[in-house]
Structure 1
Amino acid sequence: MTEATVPFRAGGEGYASHRIPAIAATGAGTLLAFCEGRVTSAADHGHIDIVLKRSTDGGRTWGPLQTVARNGSSLAGNPAPVVLDTGQVLLVHVRAAADATEHAILRGEVKPEDGRRVWVQHSDDDGLTWSGPREITPQVKKEDWRWYATTPGHALQLSDGRVLVPGNHSRPPTGTDTGAEAKYYDGHCMLSDDRGENWYLGYVEETSDNYINANETTAAELPDGRVYFNTRTDSRSPGTRADAHSEDGGRSLVKPFRPQAGLVAPVCQGSVLQLRDPDLLLFAGPAAPGARAMMAVRVSTDAGATWRSAYTADGLPAAYSDLVLVDAGTVGLLYETGDFGAYETITFRRIPVTALL
């Protein structure tokens, strides 16, 4: 049996909704569970803070809610945390005006200063306190990009020290109708070679035929040093997932994103995690083909080429998720779920590694 706790519940602790989970484990063994605290509604825009709960017992209990990033009464969201080899915790996220809806941004109706911009802050004490935010938008967002999102989910520090944050963006449509909505999401990642001080763009994949549109992307470093990317896609390609590999730490892709129809899922964010012993690449996401429901973990032993089912939490509604290694024998799954809707709670589940073999 797996153990489950509920760190975030809709309507609790001053927020109408909690969405977009991300989780990281510090060197001291503390679990840091982040999400968006949506103040007045479950909408993707409006007054949104990034909130955090800490666990020092492997996710069995959780401390009080902390507001980590606040943008006045506007949006701070899409938390992408990563614990560095120094012990410092970086939190990359986006900010935007409260009334900057995704539709308006895609149509180019939002001024750049009100649109999606990228910020970073850090903690030097295991997530107890946090620095002020620092904007890095000019380093990682091209001037003609409209939409912009980090991950969602955790970011990575690669074995050579490089920090990698998957992302997606949109561009203006081609042609004369400059006010038209952008037709595609495109993929990219942002990189730092000095532990978050300076940033630059890694691969940028932009398509024009809508065969695959790389939307919300997650990544893992494989044992051989390659980086595996898995992305949500809603396009003409088979299935709803696509994947790709990088051999140069995210600077470029070996091949463009290709369909990964072996992962049956609705159009939804998913998360990946590489285990080293045993050598397993994990994918978490809803497994119901046409609905956000039935949170499951799938396993690959060939770097994402093929997948098999390993663990299903239950048959309930479920949506976004993130994975973390709690200890040598336990994987943690932080995910949106509920009895009658996918966004009632953000639940944490401890899964024994033996359950995935």
Structure 2
Amino acid sequence: MKLLLPILTIGILIAAPTVSAETPTVAGTDGSVVFQVRDIPEGVPKEGHGKSAKKYGYRIPSLLTTSKGTVITFTERRLGLHDHAQNDIVLKRSTDGGKTWGKEIVAFEDGMNSINDPLTVQLADGRIMMMFARFPYGRHARASGWIKMAEFGYDNLETNVLTYITTSDDDGKTWNKPRNITRSVKPTHWVNANTPGAMIQLTSGKHKGRIITPLWGTIPVDGKRTWEILVAYSDDNGKTWQRTNPLNDPEKGFPNECQIAEASNGDLIIISRNQSGEKLRKKSISKDGGITWSDIKTDPTLPSVACMGSIIKGPVKKDGSWDLYASFPSSAGRKNGQIAISTDHGKTFQIKKIITGPFAYSATQISPDGKSLLCIYEANGYKTERILSIPLSELK
């Protein structure tokens, strides 16, 4: 047994995160402000957690770069900052690569009900698709004061959390009537099925054109909660949806908010928040287009507190391959955002840039010119959402 100790120690050192004191940094305050708290106009109805709110708060970003060169930032607009505060999904558009932004556009709102977790993708035909969750007034995926835990089910607009998709045919300016897909994506033992960030559409292989996203769900157990994740997918451009079984997680802690990316070898990589476990992100890999998945495991190269983060594919290189890029806060708290790259199809990641200061939820995309990584992140105690453009040459 004594002989094993040096071997194990070496293994731990090899797997350790690559962040160091020499990792280049950029100040989070260098990012330009896209959304920030502002006064709520007179006449807006306010109840529940938003009843005494004086300011709109903005949380939970999603980011999209379209084929027309438009950058679109989506987020929840809240009465205050509570997760359940009559949230609307709003967006801003930029036609100059993220330097300036147009007016705030409401993509969807539903009165006193809470619209959460924008999840977006542009399809190969140019249509933009967004998935979101509708939480009924007074119900959420957790009990909080007067708010009760949502109930299992699919049909009760007053007690069930429902999952919808909506689309835009004009580059995000206007949005079509949402369609309820809850029965297709939510298991009977989950109260919700959603996640913020980005969906993907596969660009190669046997399942080219498949729309795919991971989702997380809450499982109430004896007054407490556990969580699972699964994958939902569509092979007919979003008309119908199917889902996998929940992914198996043999380790301590629970997967939660999660994102997915397509690697150039055909693998799909899910990176997940780690709730109640180690300060490392969780990861799972699929080799068959997202139908079956490896056991979820913590990744020692992705140190982070429990928080949402992103993973995306980079530009296609001359040899037809591409790298993967991820963003997530440090293991010391929701601060010092880490930008990491994987050059081995998601097996390991190397942290190449630190965005110093407050850094919570984030979303990333490649800039319209293909030369930079755009990262939008929550900052300043959730009072602002800022966006940074980082040259890809600095992430090698």
Distance in 1 between the 2:198 and 2:165 partners? Answer: 13
Structure 2: gaps (5+ residues): 1-25, 42-54
Contact kept in structure 2, 1:203 and 1:250, CA below 8 Å: no
Instruction: Give the match for residue 115 of structure 2.
Output: 76
Letter in 2 for 1:130: W
Superposed, 1:1-357 pairs within 5 Å as 4-11=31-38, 16-38=56-78, 40-104=79-143, 110=151, 112=153, 113=156, 114-150=159-195, 152-159=196-203, 160-173=208-221, 177=222, 180-182=223-225, 184-205=226-247, 207=249, 211-236=252-277, 238-253=278-293, 255-277=294-316, 279-287=322-330, 289-314=331-356, 316-326=357-367, 327-338=369-380, 341=381, 343-357=382-396
Structure 1: gaps (5+ residues): none
Distance in 2 between the 1:59 and 1:12 partners? Answer: 24
Distance in 2 between the 1:206 and 1:305 partners? Answer: 19
Contact kept in structure 2, 1:165 and 1:190, CA below 8 Å: yes
- Residue 143 of structure 1 and its aligned partner are, at CA, apart by 2.2
Deviations 1:233-274 (Å, cap 9, x if unpaired)? Answer: 1234x4331101111221110x21111122121111110112
Contact kept in structure 2, 1:323 and 1:333, CA below 8 Å: yes
Letter in 1 for 2:349: W
- Residue 172 of structure 1 and its aligned partner are, at CA, apart by 4.3
Moved more, 188-197 or 103-112: 103-112
Distance in 2 between the 1:66 and 1:200 partners? Answer: 31
Distance in 1 between the 2:152 and 2:252 partners? Answer: 29
- Residue 294 of structure 1 and its aligned partner are, at CA, apart by 0.8
Distance in 2 between the 1:111 and 1:243 partners? Answer: 28
The RMSD of aligned alpha carbons is 2.1
Tell me, what secondary structure is at the counterpart of 2:215? strand
Tell me, what secondary structure is at the counterpart of 1:294? strand
- Residue 206 of structure 1 and its aligned partner are, at CA, apart by 5.0
Distance in 1 between the 2:220 and 2:329 partners? Answer: 31
Distance in 2 between the 1:270 and 1:336 partners? Answer: 11
Moved more, 221-230 or 304-313: 304-313
Distance in 1 between the 2:220 and 2:379 partners? Answer: 35
Q: Is the radius of gyration larger for structure 1 or structure 2? A: 2
Contact kept in structure 2, 1:78 and 1:94, CA below 8 Å: yes
Tell me, what secondary structure is at the counterpart of 1:144? coil
Moved more, 188-197 or 299-308: 299-308
What TM-score do you get using the length of structure 1 for normalisation?
0.90
Letter in 1 for 2:198: H
- Residue 311 of structure 1 and its aligned partner are, at CA, apart by 1.2
- Residue 154 of structure 1 and its aligned partner are, at CA, apart by 1.0
Deviations 1:93-123 (Å, cap 9, x if unpaired)? Answer: 1001121133239985646422321001100
Letter in 2 for 1:194: D
Distance in 1 between the 2:90 and 2:112 partners? Answer: 14
Contact kept in structure 2, 1:46 and 1:97, CA below 8 Å: no
Distance in 2 between the 1:54 and 1:270 partners? Answer: 22
Deviations 1:47-88 (Å, cap 9, x if unpaired)? Answer: 000000001110000000001011122111100010000000
Contact kept in structure 1, 2:150 and 2:160, CA below 8 Å: no
Distance in 2 between the 1:211 and 1:167 partners? Answer: 20
Contact kept in structure 2, 1:223 and 1:276, CA below 8 Å: no
Tell me, what secondary structure is at the counterpart of 1:204? coil
Distance in 2 between the 1:212 and 1:192 partners? Answer: 29
Letter in 2 for 1:122: T
Equivalenced residue count is: 341
Contact kept in structure 2, 1:124 and 1:130, CA below 8 Å: yes
